[in-house]
Amino acid sequence: MADEVGLDNLTLTALAVRLGVRQPSLYKHIDSMAGLHRDIAVHAKRDLGEVLARAAVGRSGADAISAMSHAYRSWALQHPARYEASNLMPGPGDVEDEAISLAAIQVIADVLTAYRLEGDDAVDAIRAFRSTLHGFVSYETAGAFAWSADVDRSFARLVGGFIVALSHWVDAATPHPAS
């Protein structure tokens, strides 16, 4: 239902109507609207992590990065509200949400081991991967790609460019003197 109406438009009243129950009955399962958003986020992060893991299975390096990127985009476009929820930060002390968030990120980290990235280099690459995909998907879902160029081709080039960048990741971290 969240994907149909949007995360911000999801209400407990509408959810109760959809489920055919009275709104007070919902409180046996959720404690508040914030609790519902948290539960959607945990479910979404788990689902996205599984999608990324399935895409990467049996692949490594560029093939794994490409497969994960396309799976990420496809899942985000199919589940816009869950995608939005998957980007919500865990609340303080929410051990379950933190563990699921880390598990999804660990899939990316595992794939990046093919590029021999460790420590801060790996963290930087994970951040760049997530930011690159999120930026593209966010613009795409907002309708910002109305130009005539094929969006799929643009995405493939973005992923290809990121893969090229990964092969030079450590070298790119070396400061270059100003010209």
pLDDT 10s digits, 93-124: 999 999 999 999 999 999 999 999 989 999 99
CB 134 within 8 A of CB 88: no
For 43-79, what is each residue's pLDDT tens digit? Answer: 999 999 999 999 999 999 999 999 999 999 999 999 9
CB 46 within 8 A of CB 11: no
For 70-84, what is each residue's pLDDT tens digit? Answer: 999 999 999 998 899
Q: Is the pLDDT of residue 162 over 70?
A: yes
- Backbone phi, then psi, for 89, in 5-degree steps? -75, 145
Q: If you write DSSP's letter for every residue of the chain in order, what string do you get?
A: -HHHH-GGG--HHHHHHHHTS-HHHHTTT-SSHHHHHHHHHHHHHHHHHHHHHHHHTT--HHHHHHHHHHHHHHHHHH-HHHHHHHTSPPPTT-HHHHHHHHHHHHHHHHHHGGGT--HHHHHHHHHHHHHHHHHHHHHHHTT---SSS-HHHHHHHHHHHHHHHHHTHHHHTS-----
For 118-159, what is each residue's pLDDT tens digit? Answer: 899 999 999 999 999 999 999 998 888 888 889 999 999 999
Q: Is the pLDDT of residue 33 over 60?
A: yes
Highest CATH level, class, for 41-172:
mainly alpha
pLDDT band per the 50, 70, 90 thresholds, residue 173:
low
User: CA–CA separation, 59 vs 44, rounded Å?
Assistant: 24
CB 86 within 8 A of CB 48: yes
Please state, in angstroms and as integers, the Cα–Cα distance from residue 111 to each residue in 4, 63, 104, following that order.
Answer: 33, 10, 12
Q: Can you give the pLDDT at residue 137?
A: 95
Q: Can you give the pLDDT at residue 24?
A: 67
Q: Can you give the pLDDT at residue 149?
A: 83
pLDDT mean over 13-40: 74
**Is the torsion defined by CA of 132, 138, 144, 145 positive or negative?**
positive
Q: Can you give the pLDDT at residue 7?
A: 72
pLDDT mean over 22-26: 69
Q: Can you give the pLDDT at residue 13?
A: 65
Q: Is the pLDDT of residue 11 over 80?
A: no
Q: Is the pLDDT of residue 18 over 60?
A: yes
